[in-house]
Structure 1
């Protein structure tokens, strides 16, 4: 009984601490620069396909021949869809004068089940000169693996009267894994980008026999092509800035203005809350003044004033000793660097 009371007291204490938290969470949308940057003069970009089914994958390819009407063409069709997805994204961006999917580059080594060696500078220059390109994307490999599981299951079939009754049958489960690798080259420069993607999906069906179950899974090729197109499209987005949600914390306890400011912030009246926080900058207690300075950094970041936010966060730590402000200061400084990169990208 004593142990039970001790546990109860511990949980009560934890609940009290959580309910009395000095901070609240908020989220905001911020802009981030593109993770991959090409030279400003890149206007004509080519896309090549170095992928082909690997020797190790021929066993699965034979399964493909049974499972889908496309058979051995599954990897080929998936690779074509991936190339088209990338081309669609690059054209949609409106950044490039030319986006060319090259039909054939027989002089380049093909990829097997993993990334082949990167293209040499001589190969990159040769292809770019031959087709009048400034940069080159490569689908370095594309591979699908399928795990097949066949089990006994009850299926419903209509009898002579049209009433469905359970009879012994089969369940077919197919897990298809799709892997693809991409590289991005510019003549005379180091490898600009390298990414590997992996996705999978499950398809299941029942039938009196495996062949009947298989008939309902004839759209597997379309699923592979759809996923491959989306992966190529997503990879092209690495050249574009993005908008992401980030989390922050702000102080809501310490004095009455903080409590009132919390209520205002929860209704979206952030500037009104900031006027209350500003009143506490001259509070006789350093802890309260430090929280006020920290919150002033928050409102300036919300309003897009990164330089002012950095100044307030720095004051909150250096003048008032608020340790949370030092971590926040690093976040803001990183945002400043990203903002500079973003502005440079947008000005091109």
Structure 2
């Protein structure tokens, strides 16, 4: 079984908070939303979003004012995002090919699936177990007028830009001759700006092409996270100190220093010797530490003690979260199994 680890690198661990508590932030790996068969270890990415009717697509670009090559470039940026997302995981070997094929083009209607002789030819060419194919792509960018606000600087008008990218992917399983996944989705990105006039507000917005590119890249990441484990940012609340117990404060400081062994030692002393409320807060902090270290069962035990024995309300909900994370970790280990 592959060991699931957390990366605690400089810049990844951060702290925020308010009186009495602080938030600690760290990165953790979560399972893919969609299970892919274990025999699929090598993926080849292809672009099959070229419109079947190129002349009609050219006319649409002229009539709408869109650059003729805008979607062509944007599809490559979608694949950039997908490739980055897949490369960040140990689940697959990824081959980004230069294959470009005709499909249905814009809209949400998928083209007919690739025939299996073509799938076999491409998989053998790239020594891949499966093809990930971008089969539909479309984009749009609109600007909406926001509210007027007044202040010392006078009236300010806001504008919002919304970039929408629609993508359709298929994943072809070569060995089983099965379309393992077929998924169409929309991804939106929002930008806001302001100025003394609506013209000034719009002028400071991201340009249409830049907005489409950014949204396209994120859309590729969205699909990558559907089929491979990914990293997410997690934040947890912990207690900084107790008026009557120096060990809780010491443990919190050691958490901030990422000195987990000394933090555990100080907090364990607080649990053993502290006042009732201090015991509960120290138990909660120990739960947070063990989650960061990847020992979710131990984290759940301490969170249960913090709520069940000492009545720390934050620990009750935290215990539910940890139960969910334990189930996620089992799925993650299954997905990463060799």
TM-score normalised by L of structure 2: 0.62
1:328 aligns with 2:318: yes
> Does the C-alpha gap of structure 1 residues 80 and 295 become closer, same or farther in structure 2, counting only changes over 3 Å?
closer
Q: Normalized per residue, which structure has more strand?
A: 2
> How many angstroms apart in 1 are the aligned matches of 2:325 and 2:83?
31
Instruction: Please report how far the alpha carbon of residue 181 of structure 1 lies from its aligned counterpart in structure 2 after TM superposition.
Output: 0.8
> How many angstroms apart in 2 are the aligned matches of 1:262 and 1:289?
14
Match of residue 289 from structure 2: 299
Match of residue 47 from structure 1: 46
Unaligned runs of 5+ in 1: 1-17, 66-70, 149-174, 203-218
Match of residue 241 from structure 1: 229
> How many angstroms apart in 2 are the aligned matches of 1:102 and 1:330?
46
For the residue of structure 2 that corresponds to 1:72, the secondary structure is: coil
Counterpart selection for 2:101 from 93, 100, 104: 104
Instruction: Please report how far the alpha carbon of residue 325 of structure 1 lies from its aligned counterpart in structure 2 after TM superposition.
Output: 1.6
Unaligned runs of 5+ in 2: 1-16, 144-160, 193-206
Aligned residue runs from structure 1 range 134-213, under 5 A: 134-145=129-140, 177=163, 179-185=165-171, 186=173, 187-188=177-178, 191=181, 193-199=183-189
Q: Deviations over 1:243-295 (max 9, x none)?
A: 33321112223532334444444444444343332223245854333223222
Counterpart selection for 1:230 from 209, 217, 239: 217
Instruction: Please report how far the alpha carbon of residue 82 of structure 1 lies from its aligned counterpart in structure 2 after TM superposition.
Output: 3.5
For the residue of structure 2 that corresponds to 1:299, the secondary structure is: helix
For the residue of structure 1 that corresponds to 2:187, the secondary structure is: strand
Match of residue 279 from structure 2: 289
Larger radius of gyration: 1
Contact persistence 1:27–1:248 (CA under 8 A) = yes
For the residue of structure 2 that corresponds to 1:39, the secondary structure is: coil
Task: Count how many residue pairs are aligned between Structure 1 and Structure 2.
Answer: 280
> How many angstroms apart in 2 are the aligned matches of 1:145 and 1:336?
40
Aligned residue runs from structure 1 range 54-73, under 5 A: 61-62=62-63, 64=65, 71-73=67-69
> How many angstroms apart in 2 are the aligned matches of 1:90 and 1:248?
27
Match of residue 116 from structure 1: 109
For the residue of structure 2 that corresponds to 1:250, the secondary structure is: strand
Q: Deviations over 1:36-76 (max 9, x none)?
A: 442222235353424549979956533537xxxxx433333
Q: Normalized per residue, which structure has more helix?
A: 1
Match of residue 79 from structure 1: 75
For the residue of structure 1 that corresponds to 2:38, the secondary structure is: coil
1:24 aligns with 2:17: no
Match of residue 128 from structure 1: 119
> How many angstroms apart in 2 are the aligned matches of 1:100 and 1:339?
32
